[in-house]
Amino acid sequence: MTDLNVFEDAVARVERIGTAAGVAAEVIDALRQPKAVLTVDLPVRMDDGSTRHFLGYRCRYNDVLGPTKGGIRFHPDVNLEEVQALALWMSIKCAVVGIPFGGAKGGVIVHPKDLSRLELERLSRAYMRALADFVGPMIDIPAPDVYTNARIMGWMVDEYEIITRSKAPAVITGKPIALGGSLGRDEATGRGAFIVIQEFAKRKGLDPTQTRVALQGFGNAGYHVARLLDGAGYPIVAVSDSKGGIYSDTGFNIESLFQHKQDTRKLQGVYYDGANCELVDHQIISNEELLELDVDLLIPAALEGVITPENVDRIKAPIIAEVANGPIAGEVDQRLRERGTIVLPDVLTNAGGVTVSYFEWVQNLQSYSWTLEEVRARLYDILSRAFDDIWTIYQCDGGSIRDAAYTVALRRIAEAIESHGTYAFFSGD
Ligand code: NAD
């Protein structure tokens, strides 16, 4: 186990894969540090009249391919290293799917569940006030991430428009539909992951009904991928959220589980289908136990760093689809590869979210909205093409699918950097 933090780990991965793929040293240098980082103090009036100070960040990592793009996380564990790592991964992800964005990320150290709705609104607006000169439709475009949602994006776009005295829906994606959001954005990350899993299953001849799935994290991304996999016949035998998990040998009906979570705010309890309560034989498990289940497909869809040097040798699933960002650290990745575990990497598997965010931005700039069918069809086109590009390299180079995805991305970023001229051009080599 190295002492690298998550950001150093992310840079080391770029260095390793970029060098192996023959990417110029200057291009790798350009990705060693972020373009700009903003740290902000956010004073917020609490309901009891006191003022509480929150710490927030925004990192714009690399804008060579276009304005920077990335979500905003409200979570007690937010820290600068994590924000920078997530922003670097966003740069790679946008290049993997070939959309004209660079990477960014933002976060506030807060447990939003501790705030009232009014306090949450004041915090969201304070964050946008602090960021207003740092973001913009052609500069940096935030979106939702862990514990932020469409309503929060709506408050933020509203605050930005108050400050700039103009309508600017393209400054943020993942907005409510009524404020210029795109149809299909809410399900986009899960649908994208479903497309990637299906493309992989097609190439490997997997039978969905024989592919048992364990899912960690039942939020926006996790719920939608589970719903679509369930609909395609995959048995979803385990699901968890921050409070713990449940296991059923026969698999869960994801829609009724979702309804139950909405009604009770938790996963555990009597599993029911519509109005008819029925006790499905299920077992309460911990989040750690879920990761170690003997299933065919493991989907971490919560937070990063959950597969660690400590638990990696107990992970039994032969396929892991990274719906969360960075659930597997670099060194652990290598261990999984040696064991023959296939990893569908985050920079491809969860790229559906940023892809439909791109569609939302395009629709906002054109003041024209697309139908849900158009959004879904274009998402399929982009992700299946990205999968093909990556698969071709994966088959030729024999590394991991992550290596192939990074190779695609780094070559695209390299092409843009090299268009300005590198040492090879200016030295006449
Ligand atoms: P969310 O806030 O909607 O859901 C997060 C889920 O994780 C919740 O169910 C929560 O209970 C659960 N969770 C939190 N801590 C946990 C823990 N310790 N163990 C198990 N579960 C835990 O967030 P989301 O938008 O679904 O994001 C989840 C992951 O997907 C993140 O890594 C995020 O960066 C990534 N992602 C999301 C999007 C998107 O569009 N929403 C896009 C790309 C990547």
| Per-residue pLDDT tens digits for 105-157 | 999 999 999 999 999 999 999 999 999 999 999 999 999 999 999 999 999 99
Shared-domain flag, residues 154 and 26: yes
Within 138-250, residue ranges assigned H as helices are 150-164, 185-204, 220-231
pLDDT at 271: 40
154 & 300 share domain:
no
Q: What is the pLDDT of residues 208-228, one digit of tens each?
A: 999 999 999 999 999 999 999
* pLDDT for res 1: 39
Q: Give the pLDDT score at 270.
A: 38
Same domain, 97 and 162: yes
Characterise 165 by phi-psi region: left (phi > 0), alpha (psi -120 to 50), beta (else): left
278, pLDDT greater than 70? no
- Indicate if the alpha-carbon torsion angle 291, 295, 301, 305 is positive or negative: positive
Q: Per-residue confidence at 4, pLDDT binned at 50, 70, 90?
A: low
pLDDT of residue 263: 76
Name which residue leads in pLDDT, 282 or 359.
359
332 lies in some domain: yes
Q: Whose CA is nearest to atom 29 of ligand 1?
A: 324
Q: How far is the CA of 424 from the centre of ligand 1 (A)?
A: 43
In the listed set 349, 384, 400, which residue is the last one of a domain according to the structure?
349
Can you give the pLDDT at residue 277? 37
- CATH classification at residue 69: 3.40.50.10860
Query: Atom 35, ligand 1: which residue's CA is nearest?
Result: 324
Nearest to 177 by CA among 155, 154, 157, 156: 154
**Residue 12 DSSP SS3:** helix
Asked if 58 contacts 143 with a C-beta cutoff of 8 angstroms, the reply is no
Nearest CA to ligand 1 atom 14: 242
Residues in CB range of 60: below 8 A, 6 or more apart: 34, 35, 36, 37, 68, 87, 102, 104, 134, 139, 140
Clarify whether residues 263 and 137 are in a common domain: no
Give yes or no: residues 154 and 228 share one domain: no
pTM for the structure as a whole? 0.93
Specify the ligand 1 atom closest to the Cα of 222.
26
What is the CB < 6 Å shell around ligand 1? 144-147, 189, 216-222, 240-242, 287, 301-303, 323-325, 350, 353
Instruction: Let me know whether 298 and 208 are in one domain.
Output: yes
- Per the domain annotation, does 399 fall within a domain? no
Q: What are phi and psi of 23, to 5 degrees?
A: -75, 135
In a domain, 365, yes or no: no
Domain stops at, among 297, 317, 349:
349
The minimum-distance atom of ligand 1 relative to the CA of 73 is 34
Residue 423 lies in a domain: no
261 lies in the same domain as 328: yes
Q: If you measure from the C-alpha of residue 149 to the centroid of ligand 1, how many angstroms do you get, rounded to a whole number?
A: 11
Q: How many whole angstroms from 350 Cα to the centroid of ligand 1? A: 11
Pocket test for ligand 1, best of 241, 243, 349 (most atoms within 8 A of CB): 241
Residue whose CA lies nearest to ligand 1 atom number 16: 242
Q: Do both 64 and 193 map to the same domain? A: no
Q: Which residue's alpha carbon is nearest to atom 43 within ligand 1?
A: 350
The answer on pLDDT for 258 being more than 70 is: yes
- pLDDT-based confidence at residue 397 (cuts at 50, 70, 90): confident
Contacts 24+ apart (CB under 8 A), 423-427: 423/24, 423/26, 424/24
Q: What is the pLDDT of residue 428?
A: 78
Q: Which residue has the higher pLDDT, 244 or 383?
A: 383
Mean pLDDT of 387-416: 95
**Torsion from C-alpha of 211, 192, 92, 107, nearest 10 degrees:** -100
Domain containing 16 equals 6-179
What pLDDT, on a 0 to 100 scale, did the predictor assign at position 96?
98
More confident residue, 134 or 263: 134
**What is d(CA 4, CA 1) in angstroms, rounded to the nearest whole number?**
9
Which of residues 122, 147, 179 is at a domain's end?
179
Catalytic residues: 105
Does position 399 have pLDDT exceeding 50, yes or no?
A: yes
Is 411 part of a structural domain of the chain? no
State phi, psi for 67 to the nearest 5 degrees: -55, 150
Rounded to the nearest integer, the mean pLDDT of the chain is 93
Looking at the structure, tell me whether residues 219 and 160 fall in a common domain: no
Residue 92, φ and ψ in degrees, nearest 5: -65, -45
Q: Check which CATH number belongs to the domain holding 288 and give it.
A: 3.40.50.720
**From 161-170, 271-280, 299-308, 316-325, the region with the lowest mean pLDDT:** 271-280
CA dihedral 124, 63, 348, 6 (to 10 degrees): -70
Distance CA 141, CA 361 (A): 9
Residue 266 confidence (pLDDT): 62
**Residue 142 shares a structural domain with residue 260:** no
Q: Compute the average pLDDT of residues 16-35.
A: 94
DSSP class of 351? T
CA of 412 to the centre of ligand 1 (A): 28
Look at the chain and report how many structural domains it folds into. Answer: 2
Ligand 1 mean position, distance from CA 303 (Å):
6
Give yes or no: residues 146 and 198 share one domain.
Answer: no
Q: Is residue 16 part of a domain?
A: yes
Please list, in sequence order, all residues whose beta carbon lies within 8 angstroms of the beta carbon of residue 22, skipping any fewer than 6 positions away: none
In a domain, 391, yes or no: no
Which atom from ligand 1 is nearest to the alpha carbon of 346?
44
225-250 tens-digit pLDDT = 999 999 999 999 999 998 889 999 99
Please report the pLDDT score of residue 115 as a whole number. 97
Q: Which atom of ligand 1 is nearest to the CA of 325?
A: 32
**Ligand 1: distance of its center to the CA of 300 in Å?**
9
| Residue 82 lies inside a defined structural domain of this protein | yes
Instruction: For ligand 1, atom 28, name the residue with the nearest CA.
Output: 302
**CA 129/CA 122 separation, integer angstroms:** 10
Same domain for 227 and 98: no
SS3 184: coil
Cβ neighbours of 93 (radius 10 Å): 29
